[in-house]
Structure 1
Amino acid sequence: MSGEHEIYRTLLNAEERGEAVALVTVIRVEGSVPRHEGSKMVVRADGSIVGTIGGGMLESMVIKEALQTISDGQTRSASYTLNDLDEGDPGICGGTIEVFIEPVGISPTVLIIGMGHVGKALAEVA
């Protein structure tokens, strides 16, 4: 199974089981980076992953953000520069990568107050 198929299979399985996961997508790259725009990674609530956006410290930082997304259900984007100037290390790549992190399998809660015809209609839609 190709990496892309594995990503989508994991998302489908998570949805079927009601498992909350986060989908990470590389949305912008600048300079030398380990993966291209459109690269994807699924992060599970236990921190395990399917796919990759480049490995190393980048992936470790993104997993932390993805776990927060699973926890609070909020989408987020983050940008990372792939070097460590404080350590005097220009990094393997030296470029910048931006990711979009979205929750999958997390159903929003709708609170309906009232028992009238509007509340009933809203409950049917929700």
Structure 2
Amino acid sequence: MNIYEEGLSLLRDKKDFVLASIVKSTGSTPRSKGTQMIIREDGSIFSTVGGGKMEASCIEKGVFFLKL
């Protein structure tokens, strides 16, 4: 399953999610511009934007906005 199929499945199930995307990167990074990750309300993810502190921050902020 790709990220678009996962997003469509969540929409069909009326589940909220956030789509995180890398829009710019500099230097040595594990993932490049255009990489995307789905963050679900429970903090689980589909795909990755590279791990580490940046990904953890994306998950934290994504869950925060889903709970608003």
TM-score under structure 2 length normalisation = 0.90
Superposed, 1:105-116 pairs within 5 Å as none
Tell me the distance in 1 between the aligned counterparts of 2:24 and 2:53: 18
What percent identity do the matched residue pairs reach? 32
SS of the counterpart of 2:65?
Answer: helix
Does residue 17 of structure 2 align to residue 21 of structure 1?
Answer: yes
- CA displacement 1:49-72 (0-9 Å, x = unmatched): 001100122211110011122123
Does residue 48 of structure 2 align to residue 52 of structure 1?
Answer: yes
Tell me the distance in 2 between the aligned counterparts of 1:39 and 1:69: 20
Pick from 21, 29, 32: which aligns with 1:33?
29
Find the counterpart in structure 2 of residue 63 from structure 1. Answer: 59
The range that moved more, 34-43 or 63-72, is 63-72
Find the counterpart in structure 2 of residue 77 from structure 1. Answer: none
SS of the counterpart of 1:43?
Answer: strand
* RMSD after superposition: 1.1
- CA displacement 1:61-103 (0-9 Å, x = unmatched): 110011122123xxxxxxxxxxxxxxxxxxxxxxxxxxxxxxx
* Structure 2 residues not aligned, in runs of 5+: none
* Structure 1 residues not aligned, in runs of 5+: 73-126
The amino acid across from 1:60 in the alignment is A
Tell me the distance in 2 between the aligned counterparts of 1:12 and 1:66: 18
Off by >4 Å, runs of 4+ in structure 1:
none
SS of the counterpart of 2:29?
Answer: coil
The amino acid across from 2:60 in the alignment is K
Name the one with the larger strand percent. 1
| Higher Cα Rg, which structure | 1
Tell me the distance in 2 between the aligned counterparts of 1:31 and 1:69: 29
Q: Size of the alignment, in residue pairs?
A: 68
